[in-house]
Amino acid sequence: MIHLFVAAGVILLAEPLAAIFVDDPAAVALSATFIAVSAASLVAMGVDGSATGALRGAGDTRIPFYASLVGLYVFTLPVAYLGTVTALGETALYVALVLETGVPAAVTLWRFRSDRWQAVSRDYRPGADS
């Protein structure tokens, strides 16, 4: 929940924050958009961190690892590449930023909600069946 409030605050202050670093109005607008998109991806990063921590603590380390790999190499890099070779430009880069945290968050949250990690935990700790 704290990630959501911090992200909302940063999004609201994106333009003044950008103005600290650049003077040109066009650069301020572009930087403010980047700051807002980065803040939005922070929410997914918080979800991913929570779910990944629970899974890793239970011994289920493969799914978070694969989620990160898939998020980066299957989604983020191809979308970012599209931004460099098509007219999508920086829009594709913004989408790539959100995908980099959103895809692993969705996968690890799905795994956590499936309760299959509990079986992995019991297999990992065979003496803890009770």
Is residue 18 pLDDT above 80, yes or no?
yes
> Are the C-beta atoms of 87 and 31 separated by less than 8 Å?
no
Q: Helices marked H in 13-58 — which ranges?
A: 14-21, 25-57
Q: 0.85 exceeded by the pTM?
A: no
72-103 tens-digit pLDDT: 999 999 999 999 999 999 999 999 999 999 99
Q: How confident is the model at residue 1, as a pLDDT?
A: 78
Q: What is the pLDDT of residues 27-70, one digit of tens each?
A: 999 999 999 999 999 999 999 999 999 888 888 889 999 999 99
Q: Look over the chain and give the mean of its residue pLDDT values, rounded to a whole number.
A: 89
What are phi and psi for residue 84, nearest 5 degrees?
-90, -20
Separation between Cα atoms, residue 45 and residue 98, nearest integer Å: 9
